Structure 1
Amino acid sequence: MSRFDWPTGRGVERHAEIVIFNDHLAEPSRVVERLRPFDVVCVMRERTPLTHKILRQLPNLKLIASTGAKNASIDSRAAAELGITVTATGYESTATIEFTWALRVASPRGPPRRSFSKSTEYRQRIARLCIRRSYAFFLRVQRRRSYTVYASPGAAEAYRATGKFPDGSVLVKEVQTTSTAVMTTGTVSHVDRLKGRFITVKDSKNSHPDNKLWGNGWGWSWFDADNQVKTTSKDFRTDCLGCHVPAKTTDWIYVSGYPGLKK
C-alpha cells in the first residue's frame, strides 16, 4: 500500500478501512479470529482455505474477492448459503495488461520484434507508452525474498544419476528477506534477515499415513527463524502443497531452479 500515492479524501478510503496481512495463518480458529470484524475479504492464491466451518463464524462478511478466475480454497456453495457474494477478477489471455507486462520484462534485453505485428497495433501503442512512463517504477519492484537450498550428502548426486531423490534425502530451503536500494552502481537488492527454513524429507513409501505433515512422497515442515525447534506447519495439504502444485510433475520440487541438479 505504501508504494502508491492514494488520493486523500477520495476513492476507497472514504468508504472503508483497508487492512493488509502479509503472514499466513494455518489454524482455522486464528483465521476466524482475524477475519471476524471484516465485511469484505480480498484473497490471493489458495493458501488460506475459507471453508464452511470458517465462513459460518464470520457474521459480518458480505463479500469475498479473489484474484484469478477460480479459487479452489473458497467453499462457494457454503458462501452462497450464507449470503456471502464471491467474485473474481477473471482472465483474458489477450488482454493489454498481460502484453504490457511481457514487454516490461523483455525491455532490458530489447522487446522481441515478432511481438509487434499489425494485429496488435493498438496494444503496441499502449505498451510502449507504459514502458516509457513506468520503467523507473518497474525497476524498483524487486524480489522480496532470497532462497538458498541445501541438500543432504548424496542427494544431489543421486538425483543427477537417476532423476529421483532417494528416501531419506533432506532438502532445506533457507528463506531470507531482502532490502532494495539505489546505489552508485544502480538498483541493488541484498539479503536482509532470515525469515525461516522450509524442510522436506523424501519418503516415497509414505511411511506416516496418519501424520498430517507427511504425504505425497515427502515430509513437509516450515520453521520460523525465531523458533527453529518447533514447526508452525499443521497440515502439509493446506500449509505447504499449494505452493508446489506447479512442480507436481517433478516430484513437487522445483528442480528447474536448482542448477546443481542438472547433469
Structure 2
Amino acid sequence: MNSQQLCNLHGMVALVTGAGGGSRGGLGPVIARTLARAGARVAVNDRTAEWTQATVEELRQLGLDVEGFPADVADPEQADRLVQSVIARFGQLDILVNKAEAHGSGHRSDQVTDDEWEHALAVNVHAPFYLSRAAVRHMRTRRFGRIINVSNISAIRTSVLNGVAYVATKEALYGFTRHLAIEVAQHGITVNALLPGFILTPKLAGEWPAERIERLAATVPALRAGTPDEVAALVAFLASREADYITGAAIPIDGAVSVVPGGRAAPESAFV
C-alpha cells in the first residue's frame, strides 16, 4: 500500500529538514518524497545548497511539487528565517518534520570532545526547538499543525553503537516532544516522535559492508532491518487528518527491539 492510499495531504505544506542528498541520503529524502506523493507541497531543507538541490532535482523528475530551502537549522536565526521563507513562498506551513540530525559516533562519555557534545546538542535538540517555536507561532493562528520529530529507539533503549552524545540528545528530543504536545494541543497542533530502530537507508547501505548489516539485522526480533519507506509511511499518517487525536506519542518502528527484555542479543548489536 502506498502513501496515497494511506492518507491525503492535498492542500498541505510540509517542511522536511535533513532531507538532502537524494538517493545518496538517509531518511529525509524518502520522507519528502512520500509526503509529496501524498499530495503535500514540500519544502526540502539541508545545510548546503548542493545537498538540498540533489533531492529537489530527483523529486521533480518524478513530477513532485518540491522546492529547496538550504539553511543551517542549528543556527537560531537561520532556523527562524527558514520557517518564514517557507510560509512566504507557500502561504502556510502545516507539517514540520524535524529529521536533521548529528549522527552517533559510538563514543563513551570519557571519549566525547566538547565540540562533539555541543554539535549533537545543536542539531538534535536546539534545531528542533528553534524550528518548532517558529512553526507553532504560525500554526496556532491557523488552528492546525503537525510537528513530527525523528528521534531514535535509543532514546528509550540506549545504544552502545551510537554513543552517549547521540543517546542523550535523542532522549532530550523525546522529552521535548511530550512537553510541547501538552502546550499546543488546544490549538489543533499535534506533536509526535518517531523512534526508528535499525533502518537500512541508502546512505547506510553504501557505507557498511553487507556482512555487518546482516549481523545487526539478525539481532532484531523481526530478523531484518526496517526500510525508509516504512518510516516515511508512518510520518505521512501522523501528518494526515486521520491522526488528529494522536499527540504526545513516541512511536517505535523497530521490529520489536524496544520490547526485548534483558541486554544485548548478540556481541555486536545496535541496541542494548
Under a length normalisation based on structure 2, what TM-score does the superposition of the two structures give? 0.31
Larger Rg: 1
Q: Which has the larger share of strand?
A: 1
Which structure has more RCO (C-alpha within 8 Å, separation ≥ 6)?
2
Under a length normalisation based on structure 1, what TM-score does the superposition of the two structures give? 0.32
